Structure 1
Amino acid sequence: MKKLVNLKLHGGYGSKEDGTTYHLDLCEACFKFAVTALKKHREAVMLDNYLDLPREDFGIDKYHTPN
């Protein structure tokens, strides 16, 4: 059985998603795919705007991830 990953978002005040809550249960492979897709999208947007590219540790919570 594949491990499940919970992905949650609660749109904050003033955001386009204000008051909307998302809760997704993804398998680990699907979660990795989603993070990779987000990273690629961010790279494309940043290249268009001449900004710094996301680092390899994009999205990793360093405070809750063992070294």
Structure 2
Amino acid sequence: MFVVIGLIIAFVLIAVFSNRATRYCRWRERRGAEGSTWSCIHCGAQVQGLWGVPPKDCHRDRAPPRG
């Protein structure tokens, strides 16, 4: 019984504290000499950043048009 209540509380906390703006962002890193190029596999956005530090914001407006 306690396990079920604990799981319900965990799912509620995850839903409350998750960042909805970047829910679908899946960043892939390509390392370079001076930094990294991060590519989102969901929308195709590409941004420059530091090694090992993925973007915290969604950059869909920077994505090239698909189609």
TM-score by length of 2: 0.30
Question: TM-score by structure 1 length?
Answer: 0.30
